[in-house]
Amino acid sequence: MVRPFNTSAENGGDQMQQQSSPRPTAPPLVQINQEGDDFSNPDQYVDFLILGNKENWSVRAEKKPILDSNTQLAHIVNGVGATTTVVDGKFVVRDVDKDNFEIFVRYLETKFIKFHSASHMLEMLELASRFQCRQLEIHSVKELDLNLTKEHVIEVFRALWYYNSIVPSKAVVTGEQQKKKKRSPVGGRKKKDCPPEAPVTPEEYFAALLGNCLQLIDMHAEDVFTQEAMLALRFEELEMIVKRDALQMSSEMVLLDLLASWSREECLRKNLELTEENRRRVLGALCYSPRYLTMTRKEFENAKDRVQLLDATESKLVGDLLNGKKTSGLSPEQQTMVANFKQQRPAFAPMPIQLSARSNPKNYPKKMRKAAEEAAAGGERNSCCDRFCISCARVFACIFD
Summarize pLDDT for 26-52 with one digit per residue, the tens. Answer: 555 544 444 444 555 668 999 999 998
How far CA 291 is from CA of 33, 209, 321, 340, in Å, comes to 75, 28, 13, 7
Phi, psi of 86 (to 5 degrees): -120, 125
Instruction: Tell me the one-letter amino acid at 232.
Output: A
Taking only the tens place, the pLDDT of each residue in 161-204 is 876 556 676 544 333 344 444 444 444 444 444 445 678 899 99
Give the span between the Cα atoms of 115 and 134, in whole angstroms: 17
361 closest CA partner among 348, 345, 377: 348
How deeply is 61 buried, as exposed, middle or buried, from its count of CB atoms within 10 A (0-12, 13-18, 19+)? Answer: buried
Per-residue pLDDT of the chain (401 residues), as tens digits, is 434 444 555 555 555 455 555 565 655 554 444 444 455 566 899 999 999 888 899 999 999 999 999 999 999 998 866 677 899 989 999 999 999 999 999 999 999 999 999 999 999 999 999 999 999 999 999 999 999 999 999 999 999 987 655 667 654 433 334 444 444 444 444 444 444 567 889 999 999 999 999 999 999 999 999 999 999 999 999 999 999 999 999 999 999 999 999 999 999 999 999 999 999 999 999 999 999 999 999 999 988 887 889 999 999 999 999 999 988 889 999 999 999 999 999 999 999 999 999 999 999 999 999 999 998 887 555 555 455 444 544 433 444 34
How deeply is 155 buried, as exposed, middle or buried, from its count of CB atoms within 10 A (0-12, 13-18, 19+)? Answer: middle
Q: Where are the alpha helices (DSSP H) in 243-361?
A: 253-269, 276-283, 297-306, 312-322, 332-342
Query: How many other CB atoms are found less than 10 A from the CB of residue 320?
Result: 12
| Contacts (Cβ under 8 Å, ≥6 apart) of 68 | 74
Q: pTM value?
A: 0.78
104, HSE (Cβ side, Cα atoms, 13 Å)? 34
Query: How many other CB atoms are found less than 10 A from the CB of residue 99?
Result: 12
CATH annotation of 44-112: 3.30.710.10
| Contacts (Cβ under 8 Å, ≥6 apart) of 93 | 48, 49, 50, 51, 76, 101
Pairing assessment for the beta strands 45-50 and 57-62 based on DSSP bridges: antiparallel
Query: How many other CB atoms are found less than 10 A from the CB of residue 325?
Result: 9
Pairing assessment for the beta strands 90-93 and 86-87 based on DSSP bridges: antiparallel
Query: How many other CB atoms are found less than 10 A from the CB of residue 5?
Result: 8
Give the span between the Cα atoms of 173 and 351, in whole angstroms: 17
Give the span between the Cα atoms of 260 and 283, in whole angstroms: 9
How far CA 224 is from CA of 27, 249, 354, in Å, comes to 66, 11, 22
Angle at 198 between CA 195 and CA 203, to 5 degrees: 165
Angle at 374 between CA 370 and CA 379, to 5 degrees: 150
57, β-bridge pairs: 50
Q: Which helix (H) or strand (E) holds 377?
A: helix 366-399
CA 37 to chain centroid, in Å, comes to 41
| Contacts (Cβ under 8 Å, ≥6 apart) of 377 | none
Give the span between the Cα atoms of 89 and 76, in whole angstroms: 13
Domain ranges within the chain, ordered by starting residue: 44-112, 234-376
DSSP state of 350: P
279 closest CA partner among 290, 265, 292: 265
Give the span between the Cα atoms of 112 and 120, in whole angstroms: 15
Within the chain, what is the greatest distance between any pair of CA atoms?
Answer: 132
